[in-house]
Amino acid sequence: MEFLTSAADMMKFLIPGLGVTISVTAIALAIGCVFGAAMAVLRVYGGPVARTIALVYSILIRAVPVIVIIFILFFVISEVIDLTPFMSGAFALGFASGAYQTEIFRGAILSIPSGQMRAARGIGMSRFQAIRCIILPQAFRVAIPSLINEISLVLKDSSLVFVIGVPELLRRAQYASASTMEPLLAFGCAALFYMAMTLTLSKALEAVEKKFAVNF
Amino acid sequence: MKNPLLRIENLCKSFGEADVIKGVSFEVYPSEVIVVIGSSGTGKSTMLQCLNLLHRPSSGKIFLEDTEITAPGMNEDHVRRQMGMVFQEFNLFNHLNVLGNVTVGMTRVLKIPAAQAKEQAMAELSRVGLADHADKYPAQLSGGQKQRVGIARALGMNPKVMLFDEPTSALDPELTGEVLAVMQQLAADGMTMVIVSHEMGFAREVADRVIFMENGYIEEQGTPDQVFNTPKSDRTRAFLSVINRMEGV
Amino acid sequence: MNEFIEYAIIALPDMLQGTLITLEVTFGSLVIGLLIGLPMALVRVYGAKRLQPFCTAYLTVFRGTPLLVQLFVIYYGLPEIGISFSRMAAAFLTLGCNSAAYQCEYFRGAILSVSKGQMKAARAIGMSRLSGIRHIVLPQAVRLVIPAWSNEFIAMIKYTAVIFLIAVPDLMGRAKMLSSQHFAPIQTYILVALIYLVLVGIMSIILHFVQKKLAVPGLDFKAEVH
């Protein structure tokens, strides 16, 4: 293996890991969004059984460290299907993020004035239609700042899937650290990459916030 | 005499221990304009929201044309498509522009194709005088404009009867005129309307019948002339004298 | 189910020992976070302009990178330039510095929420700026920060879960050993999840009562939870 001495070399080595990190994060967020929105709707509009299921999911998952959830789901999934660590990890991250997104969406839905639902029913929409066409689109906009925060959190938590062997940024850094005996360089560069990502995220999303500014 | 469009028989509504509506019965004939008056808290709004089943009546029956809409198993969404409601707080859909507010019901509920819906919506918006504002969002409109959009939205569903729940109460005085003018034109065009309102002048001018509600009952009803000028009940007299004092009559 | 209970009986003593370490690290890191975070918040709100970039840099580093990366940099990276920490020290330090970044922002938010009029009134009766901060602003800020700080407490219990990766024998560390010893990963980690559930539950209840006791009517503040 080449003797990587310069930071530039190190960065080049880490870049594939960057790609994996971003993919895992993106997939996890999408999964989390689906879980979160669905569970939030169940919590706000569901009958007693639906509400309890959603509540239990939300409380249980948020009480347990993400890494434990990753472990449990990894081992459970591997008993049932043959998924790559990448997919397994992305799903576990998404499943966990879903619980936090449930609370985000729930808060957003509850902040929509009750008159909106009344007006939607008033023109003859069914409850389902009203939720889908009137409540959720508005709730999503209200939720954007918190969702931005959640993106940043999931990005950082993506480093945890390295324990199940996903070749993301941290794992690559660890590999580099072990083979070059330069842990500071390796992990330091990884840290710089993360910082670059979170900073880009917050700038890009500040712009998005401005565009979709909630001016109700 | 034609058959009544709406028939309300002994409507009662309680919220927990509180009896808000204690047995209301009346009929609404096609193209009639009914104005319901009374002091605040007498159940007028609740009664109106029972008519389109936004509140489920505790007991009593409501008939739309010849169908009992309070019968168990009735599709409430279907019922509400046939009645238009205009709210005191407007309740415009904030994430949609004016055109979107009027078309969403047409496309999502009535399944009218988008192009046709747009045409019909623009027609309704012209009717209320807001065709130029089709691209604006609710946050950019004045109160009077918002309420007119609310009316257009309800009209877009082609309802058999329009229900107005204190449509001008949340408006600044200078803005009530534009809304009342729209409502007056609607009445002239033959729309059946049930209006809960404090606007006595409007009631005198436009109503075919006035219903005075007090304490969850209908205390008195009749033509505007009958109720305003020759009220039969003491309570009606008392209410009217307060109103007259307030209006400076 | 019986199998699970049998396993639980074998595994629990070890796990509970690990839990003690988890709790130790939780409390310790929170205190370190407080000792760094609160002064930093004061610097951010009241401090000189030239001190601000240092604070911003600190926050960017510790809030912009994953906890695990920070842990590895401190435990594996720093020895390269001569700074060595024991496992426990590295755990305390990393979690503490990380928490400090978030606690700084919570305190800053709370301090800024205390209305300017309070400081004006304090100066008007002749208090120095320092006195005003110490006797008027901070006592109110502390009450305002309680909800956010309670959340940080609960969150910390969960954050400690990664320190097993530098071989700290906490709950997760013991779990890993037990899991490979007994070839029972799912049961082990479900047990772990249950223990965390209990810990978080108990802490939530305790903090709820503490919050109630310390609450002053009229002072309410919702910080961004992380």
Confidence of residue C222 (pLDDT cuts 50, 70, 90): very low
Does residue A76 lie in a domain region? yes
CA A74 to chain B, closest CA, distance in angstroms equals 40
For A192, the closest chain C residue by CA position comes to C65
Query: Strand B33-37 and strand B209-214: pairing?
Result: parallel
Q: Tell me if A159 and C226 make a contact (CB, 8 A cut-off).
A: no
CA distances from B236 to B11, B27, B209, B217 (A): 21, 20, 15, 12
Q: What is the pLDDT of residues A140-180, one digit of tens each?
A: 888 888 888 899 999 999 999 999 999 999 999 999 998 88
How far is it, in rounded angstroms, from Cα A140 to Cα C75?
41
Q: Which of A115-119, B167-171, C105-109, C218-222 has the lowest mean pLDDT?
A: C218-222
Return d(Cα C100, Cα C37) in angstroms, integer: 4
Considering only the beta carbons, identify the residue of A72, A79, A186 that sits closest to C190. A72
Residue A216 lies in a domain: no
Partner A contacted by C61 (CB < 8 A): yes
pLDDT (0 to 100) of residue C225: 33
A213 shares contact with chain B (CB less than 8 Å) = no
Does residue A172 belong to any structural domain of this protein?
A: yes
* Yes or no, beta carbons of A194 and C63 under 8 Å apart: no
pLDDT over 70 for what percent of chain C? 95
Chain C residues with CB under 8 Å of A171 CB are none
Report the chain B residue with the minimal C-alpha distance to residue A142. Answer: B95
Q: Which of A119, A138, A141 minimises the CB distance to B87?
A: A119
Handedness of CA B76, B77, B80, B85 (dihedral sign): positive
- DSSP character for B2? P
Q: Is residue A193 part of a domain?
A: yes
Q: Does residue A36 belong to any structural domain of this protein?
A: yes
Classify residue A32 by burial, with Cβ atoms within 10 Å: 0-12, 13-18, 19+: buried
Tokens 């070059």 sit on residue: A180
Q: What is the pLDDT of residues B5-28, one digit of tens each?
A: 999 999 999 998 888 999 999 999
Predicted pLDDT at A214:
55
Residue B109 to residue A123, Cβ atoms within 8 A: yes
First-to-last alpha carbon distance for chain C, in angstroms, is: 35
Query: A181: distance to nearest CA of chain C, Å?
Result: 9
pLDDT of C224 over the 90 cut: no
Kindly determine whether residue B84 and residue A121, on different chains, have CB atoms separated by under 8 Å: no
Low-confidence ranges of chain B (pLDDT < 70): 1, 247-249
Yes or no: say if C14 and C188 are a contact pair by the CB < 8 Å rule. no
* Mean pLDDT over the full length of chain C: 88
Q: Which subunits sit against B, judged by 3+ Cβ pairs under 8 A?
A: A
Contact: A123, B94; criterion CB under 8 Å: no
CATH number for A205: 1.10.3720.10
Whether the CA torsion C134, C140, C143, C144 is positive or negative: it is negative
**DSSP letters for chain A:** -----SHHHHHHHHHHHHHHHHHHHHHHHHHHHHHHHHHHHHHHH--HHHHHHHHHHHHHHHHS-HHHHHHHHHHHHHHHS---HHHHHHHHHHHHHHHHHHHHHHHHHHHS-HHHHHHHHHTT--HHHHIIIIIHHHHHHHHHHHHHHHHHHHHHHGGGGGGGT--SHHHHHHHHHHHHS-HHHHHHHHHHHHHHHHHHHHHHHHHHHHHT----
- Give B210→chain A minimum CA distance, Å: 24
The rounded average pLDDT for each run of 10 residues, N- to C-terminus, in chain A (216 residues) is 65 90 96 95 93 93 94 91 91 96 94 93 92 93 86 94 92 90 90 93 80 60
Give the number of domains in chain A. 1
Name the residue in chain C with its Cα closest to that of A187: C73
Q: Which residue of C has its CA nearest to A76?
A: C186
Model confidence at C217, pLDDT cuts 50, 70, 90, reads low
Question: How close, in Å, is residue A69 to chain C by CA atoms?
Answer: 8
A147: containing domain: 2-211
What is the average pLDDT across C176-196?
A: 91
Residue A181, domain member (yes or no) = yes
* Residue pairs between chains A and B whose CB atoms are closer than 8 Å: 73
Could you tell me if residue A156 is inside a domain?
A: yes
ipTM of the complex: 0.86
Gap between the Cα atoms of B92 and B99, Å rounded:
11
Number of residues assigned to chain C: 226
| B227 Cβ contact partners less than 8 Å away, ≥ 6 residues apart | B210, B212, B220, B221, B236
Distance in angstroms (rounded) separating the CA atoms of residues B235 and C77:
87
pLDDT by residue (tens digit) across C5-61?
888 888 889 899 999 999 999 999 999 999 999 999 999 998 889 999 999 999 999
A99 domain residue, yes or no: yes
Q: How far is CA B171 from the centre of its chain?
A: 16
Q: Do B87 and A115 touch (CB under 8 A)?
A: yes
pLDDT in tens, C111-166: 988 877 777 777 777 777 788 888 888 888 888 888 888 889 999 999 999 999 99
